[in-house]
Structure formats: C-alpha cells, structure tokens
C-alpha cells in the first residue's frame, strides 16, 4: 500500500507528466538528466555536510586530543590531500617549501562536487529556458499551451475533448493567420523595396534563413536549442575531465576507469578517486612551525567515483541521441515532399483526402502545406503527434484543412463545437441515415394545417386585400409554436405542399 502511494505521487510529479514542445532527446536533456544530477547532488551533499566525508590519523608525537583531531580533519578537508602512495610521501622540513614537489598531485575537487553537480544541472536546463522564452515571444502565442491542450484532450470525455480540439485548432489558426497577414503586408510594399532588400528576401526564401514572415522562425529557434544541448553535453564531458584533474591520457576517464575495474586495477594503482590520501598538517610551536604527516581516508571518493563514472557514460549517451535527432528533424521539415506526406497520412486517416482526385488535389495539398501550414505549422503538428498521439493529430489536421478550404474556396465552416471524426462503417451509416429520415417526418401540426378550412389556407397562401400581391408559391412555410413543458417554446419550420 505504501509503495503504491509513493508510485502514485511520483507519477503525478510535474516533471514526470510534463508535456511540451520537445521530443524525446530534449526531455532526456532538460528533464531526465536534470533529475539525475539533482539526485546525485543531494546524495553527495548529505555525505559531505551531514555525515563524515574524511577521517584523518594523527601521529602520537603530536597528541591525540579531541580538539586536535577535529582540527586535523577540518584542515585536510579544506586544504586538500595528495594522491600519492603513502610510502612515497615524505616531508622535509629543512626545505623552504617541504610539500612543493607534491603540489601537482593535490586533490581538492571533492569539496566542490555538490556545487558542481548543481551547476551541471542548471547548464542542462538553460537551453529549455531560452527555448521557452524565445518561442513564446516570436511565435505570437504560447505554443507549449497548444501541445498541453492537445495532450489533455486524449484523456477527456467527449464534450471536453471536442472543446479542447477546437481550442487547439483556433490557436493554431490564429498563429498561422498572423504570419500570413505579415507576409501579405510585406508583399504589398514589395515594389517600393530597393534592390538590396529584394535580394535579401529572395535569399531568405531560397536559402532557408529565419523569418517569421516565411513561417520558419520557430524551427530555427528549435534547431538552435538542439545545438545548445549538443554543445552543452560535449562541453560537460570536457568539464568533468578538467574538474577532476585528470591528465590528457584520461580524457575518456569514464571508459578508462571502467576498463581498470574490469582488469582488476584498483585506485591504489591508478590513484583515480583515491580512498586514502596523504596530508601535510602545519603546526606552529613555540620554536617555530613544521609540517606533520597525516594519513586520511576519503570515503566520499567511493561515492564520487560511482557517480562520475555513471555520469560520464550518461552524458555521452545523451550527446549521441541529441546529435542524431538534429538530422532527423532536418529530414522531417526541410523538404516539402516530406511535410506533404506527413499531412496526407493524417488526412487519409479521416478520409478527408483520398488522393484520387488527380493533380488538382495534390497541388492543393502542397499549397496547404507550403502556404498555410508552412514549416512552423508542420513542426507543431509533428509535436502534437509525438506528445498526444495520431488520433488527436488527425482531428487537428482535418480541422485546419477545413479552415484552409473555407478561406481559399469559401466552403461553409463546420458547425461550432463539432470535431471531425472518421466516418462510420457502411452498415452503421445506413442505419443512421434511416433514423434521421424517420425523425424528419412532418409532425401533427402540419397535418392539422392541411385539414384547416380553405379560407385559412388561402389566407396563408395569399396576402391580405389591399396589400402587395404575389404569386402562389409551390410550398408554404408554416411556423408552428409548440409548447414544451408548458413553459419553454421552440420554433420549428416545415414545408407543407399546397
């Protein structure tokens, strides 16, 4: 029962159920990696500042008073220890600087590990913040809200589902129409542009330079975010190497440490994350001061070793996934043939476009993708499909197709609040049509009108004397006020033959 409650609370955690304008590789960077880094940071912080990170041995000639023991522990923790085998560490107090020859082997990184892990998590989350800010400001609407609304429609009831899909379509229509108006307004003054400005517009169109007018600004920001994630992952591999103080032969230190462990070479041979270190403690006496040797154990390095070996392989995997996601999105969005094929697949799912209309329908589909959706619209539809599934995406595409046809050809809009759904099977369609025909049979008031006196029928069919004369119609429209529930009235219109 307790485990089930914990799992339920974890499932409801916002970072687990997050939905936005990101794909799997993006969430791997700013969501999963950040959570892992924060978990490692919490573990190391508890060991460092709550438990005992270091314990040092004090020689008998110095004394073993509790105050001196605490002083030595704190001194070696703050000043650092030396990654030198204890048998090779010698202090010569006759020299001006007795420990100068060991300075290049001093290790002090373990004091900073909690802060560095926190900094690494911020660096992985920073591209997400920049993407959210720039996409909201440049797209003209909250694109993240569009994806979240589409995802909410998946688990909603039929009434709320229809409203959410209509809301998503309306927000997308507003965004796409703003870009279309921007392009028309700029094209209206095209004759007044200089030759350099016309050349710049031509370069933007043919060489895929970012422009909100052309409907590709959003995907350029997204690709910039992808490059930031890639640069951050590669940079953090080098950062971990430099922070831990390894030499050039250990650039791929995660693989090297793993290989050493596989061959049975422990830290005593490699001195990577040493568990025991030498420390030179300075004591000032009445006659002067000397450095005294102290032997320290570093249990914190057992945790640091496991964490950084894991993080090295994890960050390497994240970098590989992110690098491969960039050409995948280029393949999806740059060629109009790919974008048209994507939209066509979802139109075919709802039988809105069957592809049998010849060249006209195919050209119309390309115009819909190129001039109405453009690259930004297709990109958002891809994100809806990735985060919410094919059913929601097909409904959104079908509604946007209806909007495009209405704007271009003046086709009547769909009824308010109605979401286009795939057609029923043939048997169910015939049954539905039969039921609707039965419901359209004239009710009793029409029969009563036909039985009314001829004078009343002539009064309805012809105007009053002295009024405007008109021809006898072939059908007479009669408005019948039918009382429902004794309080509410509805107006129903019927056509009765004369």
Query: Which 3 state secondary structure label does DSSP give 484?
Result: strand
Distance separating alpha carbons of residues 365 and 371, to the nearest angstrom: 10
Q: Evaluate whether 220 touches 125 at the Cβ level (below 8 Å).
A: no
**CA dist 413 → 82, 109, 146, 256, 344 (Å):** 77, 66, 22, 65, 21
Distance separating alpha carbons of residues 226 and 237, to the nearest angstrom: 17
Q: Which residues contact 271 (CB under 8 A, 6 or more apart)?
A: 83, 84, 85, 105
Say which residue the tokens 């599934």 belong to: 389
DSSP state letter for 100: G
Going by C-alpha positions, the residue among 449, 456, 435 that lies closest to residue 478 is 449
Q: Which residues contact 297 (CB under 8 A, 6 or more apart)?
A: 54, 55, 56, 275, 276
Distance separating alpha carbons of residues 168 and 170, to the nearest angstrom: 5
Distance separating alpha carbons of residues 98 and 156, to the nearest angstrom: 74
Distance from CA of residue 216 to its chain's centroid?
Answer: 18
Beta strands 276-285 and 106-107 are unpaired
Distance separating alpha carbons of residues 255 and 89, to the nearest angstrom: 29
Distance separating alpha carbons of residues 35 and 48, to the nearest angstrom: 20
Distance separating alpha carbons of residues 192 and 403, to the nearest angstrom: 32
Largest CA distance in the chain: 137
Per-residue pLDDT, 465:
45
Q: Evaluate whether 79 touches 291 at the Cβ level (below 8 Å).
A: no
DSSP-assigned beta bridge partners for residue 296: 56, 277
Q: Evaluate whether 44 touches 303 at the Cβ level (below 8 Å).
A: yes
Distance separating alpha carbons of residues 400 and 381, to the nearest angstrom: 11
Distance separating alpha carbons of residues 103 and 82, to the nearest angstrom: 8
**CA dist 225 → 128, 189, 207, 380, 430 (Å):** 7, 34, 20, 16, 52
Per-residue pLDDT, 434:
64
Q: Which residues contact 194 (CB under 8 A, 6 or more apart)?
A: none
Per-residue pLDDT, 302:
86
Per-residue pLDDT, 50:
81
Per-residue pLDDT, 452:
57
DSSP-assigned beta bridge partners for residue 81: 107
Say which residue the tokens 């009445």 belong to: 286
DSSP-assigned beta bridge partners for residue 480: 492
Digits of tens for pLDDT over the chain (498 positions)? 444 554 454 454 444 567 788 899 999 999 999 999 999 999 999 988 888 888 888 766 555 566 678 888 888 888 888 888 888 888 887 788 888 888 888 888 888 899 999 999 999 999 999 998 888 776 667 888 899 999 999 988 988 999 999 999 999 988 887 755 545 544 444 445 566 655 655 555 544 566 666 778 888 899 999 999 999 999 998 888 888 776 655 556 677 777 777 776 666 666 678 888 888 888 777 667 788 888 888 888 888 888 988 999 999 999 999 999 999 999 988 888 899 999 999 988 887 765 554 444 788 888 898 888 888 899 999 999 999 999 999 999 999 998 888 887 776 555 544 444 444 445 455 665 566 566 555 555 555 555 555 554 554 445 444 444 444 444 444 333 433 344 343 334 434 443
Distance separating alpha carbons of residues 230 and 314, to the nearest angstrom: 13
Tokens at residue 187, please? Answer: 């094209």
Q: Evaluate whether 423 touches 429 at the Cβ level (below 8 Å).
A: yes
Distance from CA of residue 498 to its chain's centroid?
Answer: 65
Helices (H) and strands (E) in the chain, counts: 19, 7
Q: Using CB atoms within 10 A of its CB, is residue 121 exposed (0-12), middle (13-18) or buried (19+)?
A: buried
Q: Evaluate whether 95 touches 290 at the Cβ level (below 8 Å).
A: no
Q: Which residues contact 486 (CB under 8 A, 6 or more apart)?
A: none
Going by C-alpha positions, the residue among 280, 282, 261 that lies closest to residue 272 is 261
């Amino acid at each position: 029962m307790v485990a089930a409650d914990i799992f339920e609370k974890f499932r409801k955690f916002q970072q687990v159920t997050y939905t936005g304008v990101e794909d799997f590789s993006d969430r791997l960077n700013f969501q999963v990696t950040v959570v892992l880094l924060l978990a490692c940071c919490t573990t190391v912080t508890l060991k460092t500042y709550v438990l005992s990170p270091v314990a040092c041995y004090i020689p008998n000639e110095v004394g073993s008073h509790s105050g001196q023991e605490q002083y030595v522990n704190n001194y070696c923790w703050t000043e650092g220890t030396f990654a030198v085998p204890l048998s090779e560490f010698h202090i010569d107090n006759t020299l001006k600087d007795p420990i100068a020859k060991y300075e290049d082997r001093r290790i002090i990184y373990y004091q900073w590990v909690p802060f560095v892990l926190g900094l690494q998590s911020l660096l992985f989350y920073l591209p997400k913040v920049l993407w959210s800010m720039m996409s909201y400001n440049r797209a003209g609407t909250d694109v993240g809200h569009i994806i979240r609304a589409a995802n909410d429609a998946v688990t909603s009831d039929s009434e709320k589902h229809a409203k959410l899909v209509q809301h998503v379509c309306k927000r997308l229509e507003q965004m796409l129409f703003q870009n279309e108006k921007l392009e028309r307004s700029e094209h209206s003054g095209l004759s007044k542009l200089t030759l350099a400005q016309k050349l710049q517009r031509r370069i933007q169109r043919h060489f895929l330079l970012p422009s909100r007018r052309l409907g590709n600004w959003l995907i350029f920001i997204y690709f910039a975010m992808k490059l930031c994630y890639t640069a951050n992952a590669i940079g953090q591999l080098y950062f971990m190497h430099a922070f831990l103080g390894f030499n050039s032969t250990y650039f791929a230190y995660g693989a090297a440490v793993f290989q050493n462990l596989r061959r049975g070479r422990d830290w005593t041979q490699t001195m990577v994350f040493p568990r025991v270190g030498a420390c030179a403690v300075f004591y000032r006496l009445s006659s002067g001061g000397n450095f005294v040797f102290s032997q320290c154990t570093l249990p914190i390095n057992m945790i640091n070793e496991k964490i950084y070996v894991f993080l090295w392989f994890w960050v390497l995997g994240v970098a590989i996934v992110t690098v491969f996601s960039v050409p995948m999105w280029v393949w999806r969005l740059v060629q109009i043939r790919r974008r048209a094929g994507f939209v066509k697949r979802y139109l075919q799912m709802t039988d809105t476009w069957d592809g049998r209309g010849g060249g006209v329908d195919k050209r119309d589909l390309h115009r819909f993708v190129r001039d109405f959706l453009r690259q930004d619209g297709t990109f958002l539809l891809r994100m809806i499909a990735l985060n919410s599934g094919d059913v929601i995406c097909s409904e959104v595409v079908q509604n946007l197709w209806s909007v495009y046809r209405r704007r271009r050809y003046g086709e009547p809009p769909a009824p308010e609040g109605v979401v286009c759904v795939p057609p029923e099977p043939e048997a169910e369609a015939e049954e539905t049509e039969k039921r609707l025909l039965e419901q359209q049979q004239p009710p009793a008031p029409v029969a009563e009108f036909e039985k009314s006196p001829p004078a009343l029928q002539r009064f309805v069919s012809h105007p009053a004397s002295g009024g405007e004369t008109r021809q006898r119609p072939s059908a007479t429209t009669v408005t019948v006020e039918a009382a429902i529930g004794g309080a509410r009235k509805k107006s129903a219109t019927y056509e009765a033959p004369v």
